[in-house]
Amino acid sequence: MRRSDDGLDNGPPLLPLSILETVWPFFSERHSFIAQGFQFAGSIFRFKLLRDTVIVVSGERARTEFLTSKYLDINEGFKVLSGAIPMLPGVTSNLNTGVITLIHKRLSNAQSSERLENLIPYILSDIDRAVTTWSSDLIDPFAAIPTLCFQTSVRCLACHELADDASLVGRLRVLYDKLDTSTTPASVLLPWLPSPSMVTKLRASKKVYDIIDGAIRARLDSGISRDDTLQMLIDSGDDKLIIVGFIMGLLVAGARSTGTTASWLVTFLAEDIERRQKARDEIHALLSLHAYVIDNAKESVAELLSAIPLEAWEKGTPVLDKLIRETLRIAQPHAAMRRNMGPDIYVDGTCVPSGSYIVYPFSDVHLNSQLYVDPWRFDPDRAQVEGKYSYVGWGGGTTVCLGQRLAKLEMKLILAILLLRSDFTLVDRNGNCPTSAPRPNWNDHLHCKPTKACFVRFDEHKNC
């Protein structure tokens, strides 16, 4: 094996690997690749991605300095090291700082209390309708739940016309799946090369653009104003490219992160009857406080839950909050990615040259047995861990998840529908209790599916 020369004579240890031995593992088995790097080099190392230098750091001091540095840019880091977004220059990529700031402002507006309060009945109706169409009482949570989350994300971040059209939502979902599968090392590191994966990615991006552009034109031509995110963007006077880019980019979260977390949330609860009951009791308590109904038989589950105000969902669900927090810790295999856009800086005493990339894997904190005893064990009742940024499920420092308010609400509403409709238990494909609990696959950095398929059985009172 040869050692690449990047001119960092005093930098962190350089992995003694060829380009072929770094590029593919970083994109296909990132968790294992990073873990092996730490085994070889200790708490910090570097490697080459073609011409780019990537530094990987770990430890509390590095984590704190990484998360709080004003020179480390998440957008530049994500663009080169991830690349799994629709690729349309000026729409979803190559955006200037002003446009990015505006998109963040609009996302905050889309999650205002008034807007979320108005969205709750729609979200619940979407969830209830989808659950009733599941053709079997045995479902794959890692297929059904992300599909459900994508539907609710279209409802909340796009417009009612798209969300009400099941065929269009299905087409969008397929196109975003193509964006996932076409994100290869070649399409990320050599975007100018017309490789088959890049051509597929560009075609899928253009088709997503056309669907969203068509919805915008139809709304404008109709002259009808509707209470949704699209109307908010139109009324704000935003340029059409910004509107399209906002919707295209943010639907990625519904297709991936929220769907992944919700899938594992349901899976973890499916194997824990005691915690299922605690969560169900919490939902019943909310209903007893807020949903005064004369004749329950005339009310659907969605209609009953719609009576619960936003404030109660956000401040009156400590059990659900703990469940979501612990699920994020175990089942979100993030590696935070940044690019140093300022002068040379130091992270944990190591120089990070201007223009280089830096990665901090969340496994360093979330799967750290010194911080979380038996870290793979799902235990929402864990005591709060002491230490700087000892939990980064929603990010930390200068960068936190801007869509977390909506994501939390969606997951709580999904759980509420499922818990009230039926009981559910974890089984194998034959309907039998599994011999061992599934474990999140951190090498699957987009979806985190378990290596062995598992299923959830829905029924009234039967339990394994």
Binding residues: 401
Q: Measure the CA–CA gap between 149 and 131, rounded to whole angstroms.
A: 12
Known binding positions for heme: 401
Provide CB contacts within 8 A for 72, sequence distance 6+: 66, 338, 339, 340, 341, 345, 358
Closest to 86 (Cα-Cα) out of 206, 229, 219: 206
Sign of CA dihedral 176, 206, 410, 164: negative
* Adjacent-strand bridge partners of 352: 345
Q: Spell out where 156-215 has E strands.
A: none
Which single residue is written with the structure tokens 């469940």?
A: 323
DSSP 3-state of 256: coil
DSSP assignment letter at 237: T
Provide CB contacts within 8 A for 115, sequence distance 6+: 109, 229, 232
Closest to 139 (Cα-Cα) out of 270, 260, 259, 255: 270
Closest to 405 (Cα-Cα) out of 310, 337, 326, 305: 310
DSSP assignment letter at 201: H
Q: Measure the CA–CA gap between 74 and 65, rounded to whole angstroms.
A: 14
